[in-house]
Amino acid sequence: MDTQNLETFHYDNTSVRNFSIAVMFWGVIGMLVGLILALQLVFPSLNVASFLSFGRLRPLHTNAVIFAFVGNGTFAGVYYSLQRLCKTRMYSDLLSKINFWGWQLIIISAVFTLPFGYTSGKEYAELEWPIDIAIALVWVSFGANMMLTILHRRVKHLYVSIWFYIATFVAVTLLHLVNSFALPVSMLKSYSVYAGVQDALVQWWYGHNAVAFFLTTSYLGLMYYFVPKAANRPVYSYRLSIVHFWALIFLYIWAGPHHLLYTALPDWAQSLGVAFSIMLIAPSWGGMLNGLLTLRGAWDKVREDPVLKFMVVALTCYGMATFEGPLLSLKNVNAISHYTDWTIAHVHIGALGWNGFLTFGMLYWLFPVLYKTSLYSKKLANYHFWTGTLGIIFYAIPLYWAGFTQSLMWKQFDEEGMLVYQNFLDTVTQIIPMYGLRAFGGLLFFIGTLMMVYNLYKTAKQGTFAPDTEAKAPALMPSHEDGYWHRAIESRPIQLLFLSTIAILIGTVLELVPTFLIKSNVPTISSVKPLTPLELEGRDLYIKEGCNNCHSQMIRPFRSETERYGEYSKAGEFVYDHPHLWGSKRTGPDLAREGVVTGRNYKSNDWHYKHFRDPQEISPGSIMPKYTWLLENKLNASQTKAKINAMRTLGVPYPEGYEKEQAIKDLHQQANEIAATIKGAESDREVIAIIAYLQRLGTDISKKETLEEK
């Protein structure tokens, strides 16, 4: 090394420390909310207030864990490793600050909107449009800061971690922008520009790849840095990292439709989802293998070092989840697992095991480094490891059991061809003990996290934090390429960014564009009409209360479902659904045909009214929250006009001028008609609107049975 050309610079540790503290803070909050939700499923009386009810709280849990816990984890790890891998300080301290404070503000705004019912209704993208814009801006400031840092590096070749960081940045930007496209009605209300089948496809292209790129590629990047660092071992195979990186980002983007198997999504899209999910197993496992095999020759250290223990379990969970995911994408397995707690168990192997444990391992490694000391208590970290591991086991196994049991109960016919469990509730009460065990598992995991917070707090206290670390390196000089062909890409970050973009655009374009352009994908049903103003308001309340978190609106073409719920759902039924509300979980029964008078599940207005007031009174053993506030709150119809206008802009055929006077007249008239059928009900309450919506569900198609292909 030419010592004369050495440049001195300083790594920014403050951002890393700030993000690390934020990880712990939001981790504790996110897990606590999760624990409350788990307990609410066992004790529905814990739904003590509207803003603490399951339907509103569940998005807060998922957003807090994904975007606050894992998001800050990604930033902490990237800010630490990127500077050192590039031998330069983060390009802009200002952008670093904008990234940090902007991200925390976004999370705080989630805390103050989601529980109060301000939600777009799109799973894992519930935040309303102004926050979506903020997310885009802050995320791009992160990406700009990262790319500028990379461009100012003192190292020629980009290490594999950085490839993953770049892919993460590109993909998350694309996913977020496309999926969040919405038409605002007011400051905190918007409608997705996509409807029905198209919205579902965009949503799950997004949802699936948020897992792929927000929770996976980012953390694979961290894994490639922190595992070899902690183990002090060389990475097992450079070639494997190249192959699995490109294969992973190219294949992952296609697999979204596996969330929509047996739905009204066109068959060809479903099949692509299946095929690409299976192809994904090996590229996913490439990451696990490269991580675990890096520990060859260091297994004696794994026995000793809690950091490595966490990382080994994280990699193992990653391997299990990425094997299970493709299996769940096989249609015959999905027919059993979908809509059940099996899915919840699956994602928690990923969230608790892979993301959680890798974060813990990283933080146990980072804190002593940042604070120039040793870990306060290795013993406590070991306790955390075992408590957390037991937590995962107690969380996942009961839920696998519950999911499988419930699904079989849904499907069971007796010898005479009748459903054995005709009452959905019987299949719920059966698995409540499993929900109890799951909550216990969650509690263990949560306690473990608290142990870590204490341990790291003590570690920080006993050490001294240096905001900057001085380092020296020679400036980057132009030189000739040598060795592998891939080295050429590694020394050209812009080209790498460009190629990653191409890799993720291929699957995106080939799946999304045909679904939007080819009419035959959504055969028109002429009897499907726009909702009435009251039903539209009811639908917005359905979204506000998060009903779609527990009730699906998508009957699959299985005899066990058509017998239970009625005719299976058709694509043409959802053409005015901005956004779609198909749901992904049936904690309660499907509602797609709730309003069909001749359907097996039809309930009178009066029944719905009483059921909203006290579900347990009508259906003893039910775990649905009491929605007393729907009976108390007056329906706010001040935005009805704007909503109808917005819907018309999106292509819903309300007559021109309808919103001016007639809409409100119709709203009141329908409300009066419904209220007249309910003893003691007042027509101006929210509950009337939501009942109107429920009674409309699934009815259009039965008015005229003809499918017209246009």
Partner 1 sequence: MAKDFISNINNAVPVEEEDKILLEGSHDGIQELDNPLPPWWTYFFAGCVLFGIGYILYYHTFGIGSLQTVEYEKEVAIAQAKKEELLATKYAKINENTVVALADATELSTGKELYLGKCASCHLKDGGGNVGPNLTDENWLHGCDMKSVFKTITYGVPAKGMISWQTQLNPLQIQQIASYILTLKGTTPAKAKAPQGEICAK
For partner 1, give the closer residue by CB, 478 or 483.
Answer: 483
- 207 Cβ neighbours under 8 A, 6+ residues apart: 123, 124, 125, 256, 259
Q: Least distance from C-beta 45 to partner 1, angstroms?
A: 26
Q: Which residues inside 324-353 make contact with partner 1, applying CB under 8 A?
A: 331
491 binds partner 1 (CB under 8 A): no
Q: Which H or E run includes 183? A: strand 182-186
Query: Residue 680 CB: number of other CB atoms within 10 A?
Result: 10
Binds partner 1 by CB under 8 A, chosen from 222, 281, 349, 541: 281
Measured distance CA(68)–CA(61) in Å, rounded: 10
Which of helix, strand or coil describes residue 9?
strand
The CA angle 51-64-80, to the nearest 5 degrees, is 155
Binds partner 1 by CB under 8 A, chosen from 562, 616, 619, 639: 562
Total residues interacting with partner 1, rule: CB under 8 A: 65
Q: Is 591 exposed, middle or buried (0-12, 13-18, 19+ CB in 10 A)?
A: buried
558 binds partner 1 (CB under 8 A): yes
42 binds partner 1 (CB under 8 A): no
For partner 1, give the closer residue by CB, 10 or 84.
Answer: 84
Binds partner 1 by CB under 8 A, chosen from 498, 602, 629, 658: 602
Instruction: Identify whether the C-beta of residue 380 lies closer than 8 Å to the C-beta of residue 451.
Output: yes
What are the DSSP calls for 553-564, one per residue? ----S-HHHHHH
For partner 1, give the closer residue by CB, 278 or 453.
Answer: 278
476 binds partner 1 (CB under 8 A): no
User: In this structure, are strands 189-192 and 182-186 parallel, antiparallel, or unpaired?
Assistant: antiparallel
Q: Is 2 exposed, middle or buried (0-12, 13-18, 19+ CB in 10 A)?
A: exposed
Q: Least distance from C-beta 223 to partner 1, angstroms?
A: 12
Q: Least distance from C-beta 669 to partner 1, angstroms?
A: 22
Binds partner 1 by CB under 8 A, chosen from 94, 101, 137, 239: 239
Measured distance CA(602)–CA(37) in Å, rounded: 29
Binds partner 1 by CB under 8 A, chosen from 29, 110, 235, 681: 235
Binds partner 1 by CB under 8 A, chosen from 1, 2, 4, 267: 267
φ/ψ of residue 708, rounded to 5: -110, 120
For partner 1, give the closer residue by CB, 262 or 445.
Answer: 262
What are the DSSP calls for 267-280, one per residue? HHHHHHHHHHHHHT
**Stretch of 240-248, 402-410, 634-642, 683-691 contacting partner 1, by CB under 8 A:** 240-248
621 binds partner 1 (CB under 8 A): no
94 binds partner 1 (CB under 8 A): no
Measured distance CA(398)–CA(402) in Å, rounded: 6
Which of helix, strand or coil describes residue 371?
coil
604 binds partner 1 (CB under 8 A): yes
> Of 389, 697, 432, 434, nearest to 573 (Cα)?
697
- Residue 114 DSSP one-character state: G
Binds partner 1 by CB under 8 A, chosen from 563, 614, 666, 684: 563
CA distances, 337 to each of 325, 422, 432, 568, 624 (Å):
11, 19, 18, 18, 22
For partner 1, give the closer residue by CB, 403 or 599.
Answer: 599
Beta-bridge partners for 183? 191
557: tokens are: 């073409």
Q: Least distance from C-beta 325 to partner 1, angstroms?
A: 13
φ/ψ of residue 35, rounded to 5: -65, -40
Sign of the alpha-carbon dihedral angle for 635, 636, 642, 647: negative
Instruction: Identify whether the C-beta of residue 283 lies closer than 8 Å to the C-beta of residue 251.
Output: yes
What are the DSSP calls for 519-549, one per residue? GGGS---TT--PPPHHHHHHHHHHHHTTGGG
268 binds partner 1 (CB under 8 A): yes
66: tokens are: 């994904």
238 binds partner 1 (CB under 8 A): yes
> Of 139, 135, 52, 145, nearest to 96 (Cα)?
145
For partner 1, give the closer residue by CB, 315 or 431.
Answer: 315
Binds partner 1 by CB under 8 A, chosen from 69, 169, 236, 245: 236
137: tokens are: 């801006």
Binds partner 1 by CB under 8 A, chosen from 204, 205, 225, 612: 225
Site string for partner 1, 143-182 (x = CB under 8 A): ------------x-x-xxx---------------------
Alpha helices in 566-639 (DSSP H): 605-613, 615-618, 628-632
**Stretch of 35-43, 228-236, 573-581, 685-693 contacting partner 1, by CB under 8 A:** 228-236
Helices 306-328 and 357-370, interaxial angle, to 10°? 150
Q: Least distance from C-beta 305 to partner 1, angstroms?
A: 17
Q: Produce one character per residue of 393-422: b if its CB has 16 or more CB atoms within 10 Å, e if not.
A: ebbbebbbbbbbbbbebbbeeeeeeebebe
320 binds partner 1 (CB under 8 A): no
Site string for partner 1, 297-316 (x = CB under 8 A): x-------------------
Q: Least distance from C-beta 160 to partner 1, angstroms?
A: 8
Q: Least distance from C-beta 603 to partner 1, angstroms?
A: 8
472 binds partner 1 (CB under 8 A): no
For partner 1, give the closer residue by CB, 399 or 596.
Answer: 596
655 binds partner 1 (CB under 8 A): no
For partner 1, give the closer residue by CB, 286 or 572.
Answer: 286
Site string for partner 1, 401-430 (x = CB under 8 A): ------------x--xxxx--x--------
For partner 1, give the closer residue by CB, 289 or 505.
Answer: 289
Q: Is 379 exposed, middle or buried (0-12, 13-18, 19+ CB in 10 A)?
A: exposed
For partner 1, give the closer residue by CB, 365 or 445.
Answer: 365
Q: Which residues inside 581-600 make contact with partner 1, applying CB under 8 A?
A: 597-600
Interface residue list for partner 1 (CB under 8 A): 81, 84-85, 87, 155, 157, 159-161, 225, 228-229, 234-241, 243, 247, 262, 267-268, 270-272, 274-276, 278-283, 285-286, 289, 293, 296-297, 331, 413, 416-419, 422, 483, 556-559, 562-563, 568, 597-600, 602, 604, 607
